[in-house]
Structures are given as C-alpha cells and as structure tokens.
Structure 1
C-alpha cells in the first residue's frame, strides 16, 4: 500500500508540475500575443497616418470573391470640397465636435432600439474609418470592441483632416469601387476634384449601401436623400482647406 501511495503521490506531483508549467507557458504566450498586437496596431495607425494604405481587409475579401479592384488615392486637396461636406452632412454632422464617439447619437440609438423602433446606428466617420481600414465586415462583439480600440488610436494620432481624407479614399462605393476618385470616374466620368454639389450629394447618399444603390442611376429614395444632404450642406460652415477649422 505504501508503494502504491508513493506512486500515486509521485504522479500527482508530476502532473501538477506539468500543469503549472503549461499554464505558465500559456500565460507567457498570451502576454506576448497581446503585446505584439498592441505594437503592430499602434505601428500601423502611425504608418497610415502619413502613407496611403495599399489595401484594406474588405478589398482583399472582395478580390478573393472574384471582384476587380478599382482605387486611386487622392490627397485631401485633390478631392472636391463638396464631397467632403456631403459626407459630413450625411454620415457625421458632429464630426468636428466629438473625439471619435458621438455619445449623444449613441444614447439616442440605444433609446430607440430599446423602445422596439427601427434599429439605429451611431457610427461616426472615425469609427467607420477604423472598421474599413483595419477590420472585417461582421457584426460581432469582438469586431465592435476592436473598432472602438482603433477609433481611439486614430483620434489620438491623426488629425481630423487625415481621418476624413482616409475615409473617402477607402470607402466602398460599389462593386470593386473604392475611394472618391474611382467613384467619380465610375459614376460621372470625371476626377474627384471636379464633382459638383449634386454629384457629391448622390455619392454620399449611396454610402449606407453602395452595392445596392448607384449614384449615376439614383432611385427616387436616393434622389430624396441626396436633396436632404444638400439642404444640410447649405447650413454647414464652409470648412475650406481644413474640415474642422
């Protein structure tokens, strides 16, 4: 019996030691993984703050699905101010006031959703830039958490001009069409800096579902939406070379 107990105790100690070592390895691996992610994420945000991103996860996904890729980066000064103003009027009227999250819009969206009304979103342009630039198209808590994380980094390291510049250059505007220049060429046969107020409002109007709607062949709904955007544009201040002064 003593011999059996010794064997059993030895096995228990051996198993405990193995389990402890395994847990330490797992803990060390998780720490390295998190540290690596933090370094890479901050690095990419800093890099894309000065250089155009070559592709985004959504572009890669669409190409794997067989779509072509049409994109041509344009600097802020090479994009019609009408388009910048239309996007702000359509997507995020408080862009210049908030720091990445529009808490008023979030509270309204939560209240509306709790009341059982139409599901509303409250994504700012910064949040959409974070999603478009770094993440995949899915509605999960993990992706929303990462979206919030990248939103904080972008607002921390970029100015507002760079945020809107990046947004209009990576936004999907149709099947295989990304960015203001590709969209302007595809729908109106002109460069992004030549877009009129009406054309800009039509491009902004289709942003919520660019694969369903066309800026060059607008439905009545898109025409009405574009007219509303133009009305908002008329009461917005002219930002000039700086979207937020």
Structure 2
C-alpha cells in the first residue's frame, strides 16, 4: 500500500512539475517571441522525411505592423467572441458538439444503407466519414499549436484547456493574437501572417486589404487544401462574407 501511495505521490509531483514548466514558458512569452511551436517542429520533421528538403517561410512581425484587416478577419472567421471570453467559448463548443453528433448519426445511417445493398465488386464505394467541426477559440488553437501533439485523447484535451487558461491568465489578448498570427500555418511550410501575405499576395502583412485578409482567414482551418485550390468558389464566397462582417469587429 505504501508503495502505491509513493507512486501516486510521484505522479502528482511530476504532473505539477510539468504544469510549472508550462507556466514558466508562457510567462516568458510575455517578453520573448517563441522561436517555434510543437506543431511547426512536427511539420519540419514530416516535410524533411517525406521530401528530403525543407522550404520554410516565416518572419515575425510586431503586432502594430500586422494589418488590422487581418486581425478583424481572423476574429470573425475563427473566434467571434475572442475579446469577451476567458479562453473557452462554451456556446461554440456546445454547437460544435451538436453538429458533430448529427454528422456521426448521418454517417452511421449512410453506412447502414450502403451495407444493406450489394455494391459491385471493385466499385470502391464506401460511406463518407463524418465531417468533424471544432469549437476551439483562438487561445485554444494557440495552446495546442505551441505545446501539444496532434493526437485526440481526453488527456491531451484536458491539458489543452489547462494551457488555455494559463495563456489567458499570463498574457494579454493582444499578445495572444500576436503570437497566433505569427505562428499559424497558412500552407505547406508557410507560417505566420508575413509569410502568408508575401506568398499569396506579394505584399507585407501590414498592407493587406479587407478582402485579402478575409481570404487568408478562411484558409485557416484547411490551409494546405486551399493553397492548392486558389480558384475555389467557396473560398471566394466565404471571404466576401467575412469581409462584410469585419467593420464592427473590435481588435485588442
């Protein structure tokens, strides 16, 4: 029994040490720009492993030099209540949960109908997997990208929430948005607003128009997909919608 209690105590101490490490890392970010994120390091490994070489575009731009158009567009597209919430938007999470549940139910029905029919041999027909949507805030996305792996487990999600609360407690909204915009992925090896603005529009991030900023914001959930589909009708239509909503958005 004593051995078990000793192991439990060691696990708790180790867990506390990890959290204190994260607190220290985040506190330093109030003064120092992060050099890389966990997601970026995993992408470097993947690209080098698959292609044997690395094309990397990233340049840190201070918050005042980032276009307000881009700040507004990303808030409208990714996290409409960014200014108000304290890291987690419970209403968005609830809506995402409902949509995902409905999508899974539709996928199960489709699979059931497909299973009840005899598909021709070699037809390759299969039920489409459900489209999963997220309810993560900008702060949650930053927490995940900075520190965590891409696996989806209950423990990782719990750590993401803890890190989100740490970010909100130790950093200002302005600093959170600054770090996010300078590190988020916008294509294969394209990270941060400056690299994205130069890659797609051949101009600095400070000069992005409302529509250009909206196009970049719409790309964020699937940047590699939209990078290869610049003529996407959805991208253009959604960007126009975002651009019309940006006027009344407050930026930190």
TM-score interval w.r.t. the shorter chain? 0.7 to 0.9
Aligned residue among 157, 163, 167 for 1:144: 157
Aligned residue among 58, 61, 72 for 1:85: 72
**1:174 corresponds to 2:155:** no
Cα deviation 1:179-227 (Å, max 9, x = unaligned): 0011111111111111111111111011010011129924111101111
CA distance in 1, matches of 2:132, 2:190: 28
Partner in structure 2 of residue 105 of structure 1 = 92
**1:69 corresponds to 2:56:** yes
If asked which structure has higher relative contact order (CA below 8 Å, sep 6+), I would say 2
Gaps of 5+ in 2: 49-53, 107-130
Q: Any conservation in 2 of the 1:185–1:192 contact (CA below 8 Å)?
A: yes
| 1:1-245 aligned within 5 A | 20=2, 22-23=3-4, 25-65=6-46, 66=48, 67-115=54-102, 116=105, 119-214=132-227, 217-234=230-247, 236-237=248-249, 239=250, 243-244=251-252
Cα deviation 1:220-240 (Å, max 9, x = unaligned): 111011111112113x24x4x
SS of equivalent to 1:68: coil
Q: Any conservation in 2 of the 1:96–1:160 contact (CA below 8 Å)?
A: yes
SS of equivalent to 1:54: coil
What count of residue pairs does the alignment treat as equivalent?
220
Q: What's the TM-score, normalizing by structure 1?
A: 0.83
Gaps of 5+ in 1: 1-18
Q: What's the TM-score, normalizing by structure 2?
A: 0.81
Q: Any conservation in 2 of the 1:188–1:216 contact (CA below 8 Å)?
A: no
Q: Any conservation in 2 of the 1:89–1:229 contact (CA below 8 Å)?
A: yes
Q: Any conservation in 2 of the 1:187–1:215 contact (CA below 8 Å)?
A: no
Worse overlay, 101-110 or 83-92: 101-110
CA distance in 2, matches of 1:89, 1:101: 16
CA distance in 1, matches of 2:168, 2:143: 10
